[in-house]
Structure 1
Amino acid sequence: MEKLFLKILICILVISCATTKEKDYVFKGPHHKKVFIQSYDKSLKLWDVPFQEEDIQTSFGKAHIIISGQKDGSPLILLHGMDATSTMWFPNIKALSKNHRIYAIDFLNEVGKSQSIEKSLSKEEIVKWYNEIFDHYKLKKVDVIGASKGGWIGALLATQENHKINKLVLLSPSETFKGIDKAGKASSALFLKLFPTRKKLNKTLESFSFYPNNINLDYKNQLYLANKHAKSSSSFLQLLPFSDEDLKKIKIPVLVLIGDHDVINSEESIKNAEKLLPNCKTKTIKNAGHFLSIDQSEIVNKVILDFLKQKR
């Protein structure tokens, strides 16, 4: 019954997307966008390092990038989770910026400051879009950290021939090595997207975070407004596990981290990663949920940085 109800909700979501004709494919209206961007800027004040925001034109619209860290540091790309925006890296940015040049990219077709001229992007277009950004900054080799959906995107980029990734870090990547582990608990995020209320936000955070009460209130508010002021999106329907053949194409060093209370991944995900990725390290973070980069930021930061500084 639960699976049937989820399918019905997904159908409603797809229909709502199909009837959208406005050119702003993300926000319900100009006021909704303004209110959300105000919350985005408030969350961005949590970044405790100097940064600059840049917009660049691409074939698919405007890409918004937040840049921080050492100008001569090795380039590190940050790919956020679904509707989380680049502001989600506030617990990690100081540690990551110390020896790296950070490029945190807001994904198109989601809330944030990037602006799409397309309703949605295919996998091939997603790859092309990121490569256009890398080319703009003349980045020949980059390290990539992807969280949740951003992890799925990072894996997608790494499966391509002639990709630019040196090392890849996957923080509880969505549906990369298997389907959603605890679909019942994870469905709270879908209910929040379709029928946003503060109560549903709290229920979602309780499912996705081990320490939901510790999440910064400004960022919590941003997550709520991301669902309240955005149109329904079917982009998550793209997130299907990769084939064994595709995962075996990823030859670069990969670090996979999941939380021990994750609703998206489990030890089965870890086993699949170790089996299919020829150069893979894995770790399960204790007392962490899907939001492990927030739940256990200090531990996660250290594990990531130790991995990135190791010679290949």
Structure 2
Amino acid sequence: MKFLKNSLLLTLIIVFTSCKPDYLKYTEQPDYITQPNEKLKPYFEAYDASLKLWDIPVEELYIPTSFGTAHVVVSGPTNGEPLVLLHGMNASSTMWYPNAKALSNAHRLFAIDFILEPGKSFKTGTFDDVEQIAIWYNEIFDKLKLKEFTLVGASRGGWISMKIALQNQERIKKMVLLSPAQTFIWIRPSTDLLKNIIALFSSEEKQIEQSLKSMSSNVGNIDKTYLNQYYKSEANDSINKFFFDMKPFSKRDFQSLKMPVLVLIGDDDVINNSKTIQMAKTLIPKGQGEIIEKAGHFLTVDQADMVNTKIIEFLNTDKTQ
């Protein structure tokens, strides 16, 4: 009997300490999650299935902001250094499934669903300009009480990471940009881009298929569970009004960055090329850059182990010196 009581007590302690006390108020699921409409229900089911691919314990937070509810997936040791993850376009936080387990060994992960795209965040307010996107993320950081953290952004998440960094550099310890879109250079004309344009006149399924082929060097390597969610997110998505406000940052912007920055791109990246890496190394005072072989724009999937290793080495640099 004493053993059972101790076991029960231990279980209760684990339950109530797994999430910081300040976060417990954000764990209650809002109505749009518990009672989704017919359009959102299948997408949320697909999202939940993809989230299981992380293969680690996760907590889901629903944080109220001025623009709506922010959905944040949290994992990793509670005493680990905070690592904020910003996903690529239409990908949602579940896109980190090939990376979350490795990155969460020594870090506390906070993956945020962008409120203007498919995911579990829910917009109720209006964004008047692109500057308010960074303001929205900073609201979340305040609610999570993240005073200093490393920021990792993929594709459009990389562009947003730069925007956030330029608004409040003191908050960001380090930054990792994974094939950042429209951040260093304009998206260049290419055969893949032309194929995507031609595919616009095809069926929706063909459009998505062509898009994936141009973004990944090995589409067959993408988990089918995640692909199911990705297809549903494409069906729910509409290009938000700030898409065309994504312009490469200025030389002065890059030179103003104070934190160490790592930039990784694939050798078959439709968005970036070697010029991106050259700019990262020469313009950013503490900039590093590398091209990952046999990887496309989706390098976090195409070469997950290599990307994980590079990020972890970068995060641990100051610890080994």
Q: Same fold (TM over 0.5)?
A: yes
Rounded to whole Å, the distance in 2 between the matches of 1:52 and 1:268 is 39
Q: Which of these residues, 139, 145, 157, is aligned with residue 150 of structure 1? A: 157
8 A contact 2:129–2:242 mirrored in 1: no
User: 1:61 matched to which residue of 2?
Assistant: 68
TM-score w.r.t. the length of structure 2 is 0.83
How far apart are 1:39 and its partner, in Å? Answer: 1.2
User: 1:280 matched to which residue of 2?
Assistant: 287
Against the structure 1 CA distance between its residues 42 and 161, is the aligned structure 2 distance closer, same or farther, given a 3 Å change threshold?
closer
Rounded to whole Å, the distance in 2 between the matches of 1:187 and 1:45 is 35
Matches within 5 A, 1:68-79: 68-79=75-86
Q: Once the two structures are superposed, what CA deviation does each residue of 1:38-65 show, in whole Å capped at 9, x if it has no partner?
A: 1111111111110010101011110000
User: 2:9 matched to which residue of 1?
Assistant: none
Matches within 5 A, 1:198-217: 198-217=205-224
Against the structure 1 CA distance between its residues 187 and 221, is the aligned structure 2 distance closer, same or farther, given a 3 Å change threshold?
farther
Q: Once the two structures are superposed, what CA deviation does each residue of 1:256-303 show, in whole Å capped at 9, x if it has no partner?
A: 000000000000111122221111111100000000000000000000
How far apart are 1:214 and its partner, in Å? Answer: 1.3
Identity in percent: 44
1:96 and 2:103 aligned? yes
Matches within 5 A, 1:15-26: none
8 A contact 2:66–2:125 mirrored in 1: no
Compare 300-309 and 154-163 and name the one that shifted more.
154-163
Q: Which of these residues, 300, 311, 319, is aligned with residue 304 of structure 1? A: 311
TM-score w.r.t. the length of structure 1 is 0.86
- Residue type matched to 2:78 in 1? K
5+ long unaligned stretches in structure 2? 1-35
Q: Which of these residues, 141, 144, 147, is aligned with residue 137 of structure 1? A: 144
- Cα RMSD over matched residues? 2.0
How far apart are 1:235 and its partner, in Å? Answer: 3.1
Compare 32-41 and 255-264 and name the one that shifted more.
32-41
Runs of 4 or more, structure 1, over 4 Å off, are 187-196
- Residue type matched to 1:155 in 2? M
How far apart are 1:83 and its partner, in Å? Answer: 0.6
How far apart are 1:147 and its partner, in Å? Answer: 0.3
Against the structure 1 CA distance between its residues 115 and 163, is the aligned structure 2 distance closer, same or farther, given a 3 Å change threshold?
farther
5+ long unaligned stretches in structure 1? 1-28
Against the structure 1 CA distance between its residues 166 and 63, is the aligned structure 2 distance closer, same or farther, given a 3 Å change threshold?
same
Rounded to whole Å, the distance in 2 between the matches of 1:91 and 1:213 is 14
Against the structure 1 CA distance between its residues 194 and 72, is the aligned structure 2 distance closer, same or farther, given a 3 Å change threshold?
farther
Q: Which fold has the larger relative contact order, with Cα–Cα distance below 8 Å and residues 6 or more apart in sequence?
A: 1
User: 1:289 matched to which residue of 2?
Assistant: 296
